[in-house]
């Protein structure tokens, strides 16, 4: 079983749509959780951290369910510029390596 | 914020030659750096953890004699792909974390072995 699993997509949505990505992780000892965004042939960039209480950053909302080891990302009012691959990432102890999911590809069209 | 500079961004080499990739932490000291590899449409896979002043820790299945890592200073880690073969063609990327801050990635190196 892979450590971090995501639906690879692709998700093809029109501008303005709401889209949700899901992710599960296998290591119950994981302590930190993130969503990264990766554009084609570029390095990943931190989109947001994910907390058990849920957190929101503009059009983006992330949720964490530790009991079911499940992480989600909701994007509202999709923009063309949101087209990218979204990586679900977990971390054990602070200072150790990040573990990446395979990524979910989003394509927003006009 | 913290910046990690990675060079070269792109390299094409002949099969059998060696390629060195450098990662430098700018404005902060990185006692630990992480090296990842990403094949097309795949996730970033951790290859090794580079520790300043000591031997790197390699992930299972990664040949330490093929992927030489040197972390001789608090701001520089290098990855040398020795005797490169076409199957080593990939996107190599490093990462470091300034204490108390989020992880920062280099811009990646796209290696093509012909």
Please give the distance of CA B85 from its chain centroid, rounded to a whole number: 17
CA atoms within 13 A on the CB side of B100: 1
- Contact between chains at B43 and A101 (C-beta distance less than 8 A): yes
Quote the pLDDT of residue A1.
64
Residue entry with tokens 């030489």:
B68
Q: Among candidates A66, A77, A61, which has minimal Cα distance to A21?
A: A61
Contacts of B108 in chain A (CB under 8 A): 41-43
**From the candidates A97, A98, A105, which should be mutated to test the interface with B, based on the most B CB atoms within 10 A?**
A97
**Residue B13: other Cβ atoms inside 10 A:** 16
Tens-digit pLDDT profile for residues B27-54: 899 889 999 999 988 889 999 999 888 8
Residue B16 CB partners (closer than 8 Å, separation 6+): B83, B84, B85
Strand partners for B73 = B76
Q: Among candidates B50, B45, B39, B77, which has minimal Cα distance to B61?
A: B45
Give me the residue from B41, B43, B105 closest to A43, CB to CB: B105
| Percent above pLDDT 90 for chain B | 77
Residue A15 has pLDDT above 70, yes or no: yes
**Residue B55: other Cβ atoms inside 10 A:** 12
Contacts of A35 in chain B (CB under 8 A): none
Q: What is the average pLDDT score of chain A?
A: 93
Residue B14 has pLDDT above 90, yes or no: yes
């Amino acid at each position: 079983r892979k450590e971090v699993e995501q639906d690879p997509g692709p998700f093809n949505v029109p501008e303005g749509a709401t889209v949700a990505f899901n992710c599960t992780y296998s290591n119950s000892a994981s302590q930190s959780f993130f969503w990264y965004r990766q554009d084609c042939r570029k390095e990943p960039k931190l989109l947001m951290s994910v907390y058990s209480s849920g957190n929101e950053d503009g059009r983006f909302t992330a949720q964490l369910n530790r009991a079911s080891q499940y992480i989600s990302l909701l994007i509202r009012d999709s923009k063309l510029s949101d087209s990218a691959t979204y990586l679900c990432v977990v971390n054990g102890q602070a200072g150790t390596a990040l573990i990446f999911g395979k990524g979910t590809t989003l394509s927003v069209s006009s | 914020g913290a910046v990690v500079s990675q060079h070269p961004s792109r390299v094409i080499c002949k099969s059998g030659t060696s390629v060195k990739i450098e990662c430098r932490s700018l404005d902060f000291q990185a006692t630990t750096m992480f090296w990842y590899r990403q094949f097309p449409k795949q996730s970033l896979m951790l290859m090794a953890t580079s520790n300043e002043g000591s031997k790197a820790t390699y992930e299972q299945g990664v040949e330490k004699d093929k992927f030489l890592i040197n972390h001789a200073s608090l701001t520089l880690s290098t990855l040398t792909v020795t005797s490169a073969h076409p199957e080593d063609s990939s996107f190599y990327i490093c990462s470091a974390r300034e204490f108390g801050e989020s992880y920062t990635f280099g811009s990646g190196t796209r290696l093509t072995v012909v």
